[in-house]
Chain A
Amino acid sequence: MLKVKELTVCYGRLPALKEVSLEVQEGEVVSLIGPNGAGKTTLLLTISGILERTEGRISFRGEDITDLNPHQIVTKGIGHVPQGRHIFPTLSVLDNLLLGGYRKRRGDITDDLEWVYHLFPILDDRGHQRAGTLSGGEQQMLAIGRALMTRPTLLLLDEPSLGLAPGVTEDIFSAFEEMNKRGLTILIVEQEARFSLAISHRGYLLRSGWLIKEGPAAELRESQEVKSLYLGQGGKRA
């Protein structure tokens, strides 16, 4: 479904991603893990067309999307929940969701809205509250809901658990599983590799811009590299 081929992205002259290739198949949940500064966010922002690539191609459902604008990529069916959530704080919760459906005609959005409210009922209750007044967990739910309103077939999630209480993180990850059961393909970036690998089919490990390991999620979870990097157990330091 998504194919990234030998992608290199530079900030100025400094490369942040070096010849990274990865694939996401329809219906999969794929984890992209790696330490801070590995280039995970850079990769997602480049897929969405926010950052410009230096080398390489990106295709989605057989179509080359490398040189499209962010708003064109959204309409192709790639939703993106950015790190730090980036909701619109001065607008109401409902307006945030409606803007997610900005590219669609009005009649089409009721089903999407119902689906979001089914996943995150709190957003229905808080509809007329200013989004900036929501708690961190609620803002994350809103950011996910807003991305779902663009009616994506592939959802990019950037650090969805960042700064959230463990209980809230569990709720959000079970929502991801439900979304995936309904047919949504997910590419998820996480530092908390435990959470994301638990719901993923496959995973990629990224370090300082290089792709260093890939494989089924269960296998990756047991590998020495992942254990020593994230889970603070095993590895050389133990």
Chain B
Amino acid sequence: MTPWSLIPHLLTSGITIGAIYALVALGFVTIYRASQIINFAQGEFVMLGGIITFFFLRGGGIPYPLAALLAVILVIIIGLLLQVLVVYPLRKASVLIPLMATLGASIFLSNTSGLIFGTLPKVLPPFSGERPLEIGGIPIAPQSLWVLGATFLLLITLYILSHRMLLGKAMEASSTDPLGAELVGISRNLMVLVAFGVSAGVGALAGIFITPIFYTSYNSGTLLGLKGFVAAVLGGWGKNGGAVLGGFTLGIVESMSVAFIPSGYKDAVAFVILLLILYIRPKGILGSPFIDSRRW
């Protein structure tokens, strides 16, 4: 088998994992836009979504959809608690301190998950069978289509939330001009809380959709979170469109790399991309409203 014959398979798996990176990146962006905080516990939401669903399904014998729903609700509550217990008390500290705190929360969440649910990797059953569909001669796992469909729906939902609903506009107002927002009665703390809830929910859903494809263990959130962060920077830090573009680009490039370099180096690809983008174009593909290009 030559490397080239692998390309179609690698492309489909790249798109699938790219969708997950995109969702994680969107979680980063949502929280950053509301609060200027980089939440490094973002990947843990994904891990918890998958693992808690597994726990309800296997341990509790709860039907799959209900188990997934309960897991999403539980992870949203964890996200809200993260804001209330960790981020809110540090609201007057400089930005680096809440960032460190979320990193700490990330370690806490993954180790707690390991203690409660065990350290063995978990895998969920696919939503609709395992038999691959043939599309244009390429076998595609039905779960990949679920991932893409769910990502698409979530993107539309987030778009409507942030551009069509007053709540989303209030979040934007609160991040662009906190004083102006407070003076018309938009509480910044409430907006940050909503952002944590939304990000946690999106992360949990990503975890539920991806766990039937990739094993999820208590410590897989860290790497997923970091890659989602790379994706958000790659696409253009702070932009929803950038997060999506960056996610898919990273997923595809990373997956394709396996055809040409040993697969053990796959995870390093993301970080090489991060280094390159920071050297060459720190504002990302689409440009970033938060990074002043004149400084570089």
Residues A75 and B185 in contact, CB atoms below 8 Å apart: yes
Residues of A within 8 A of B177 (CB): 86-89
Residues B182 and A91 in contact, CB atoms below 8 Å apart: no
Residues A147 and B183 in contact, CB atoms below 8 Å apart: yes
Residues B183 and A102 in contact, CB atoms below 8 Å apart: no
Q: How far is the CB of A32 from chain B (nearest CB, A)?
A: 17
Residues B172 and A147 in contact, CB atoms below 8 Å apart: no
Residues A102 and B182 in contact, CB atoms below 8 Å apart: no
A50, B177: Cα distance in complex, Å: 14
Q: Would you list the 10 A-B pairs with minimal beta carbon distance, nearest first?
A: A86-B180, A74-B185, A71-B185, A103-B185, A70-B182, A88-B173, A80-B183, A71-B187, A86-B177, A100-B184
Q: How far is the CB of B121 from chain A (nearest CB, A)?
A: 43
- Interface membership of A196, Cβ < 8 A: no
A92, B186: Cα distance in complex, Å: 17
Closest B residue by C-beta to A132: B176
- Interface membership of B91, Cβ < 8 A: no
- Chain A to chain B contacts (Cβ below 8 Å), 23 pairs: A48-B183, A50-B179, A50-B182, A50-B183, A71-B187, A80-B183, A82-B183, A85-B180, A86-B179, A86-B180, A86-B183, A90-B176, A91-B173, A98-B166, A99-B169, A99-B181, A99-B184, A99-B186, A102-B186, A103-B184, A103-B185, A147-B183, A150-B184
Query: Which residues of A are at the interface with B, using a C-beta cutoff of 8 A?
Result: 48, 50, 69-71, 74-75, 79-80, 82, 85-91, 95-96, 98-100, 102-103, 143, 146-147, 149-150
Residues A150 and B179 in contact, CB atoms below 8 Å apart: no
Residues A87 and B180 in contact, CB atoms below 8 Å apart: yes
Q: Given A98-B166, A99-B166, A102-B166, do A71 and B173 touch, yes or no (CB 8 Å)?
A: no
In the complex, given contacts A70-B183, A71-B185, A99-B186, what are 6 additional A-B residue pairs having Cβ atoms less than 8 angstroms apart? A50-B183, A75-B185, A86-B179, A88-B181, A102-B185, A103-B185
- Interface membership of B273, Cβ < 8 A: no
Closest A residue by C-beta to B183: A80
Residues A71 and B172 in contact, CB atoms below 8 Å apart: no
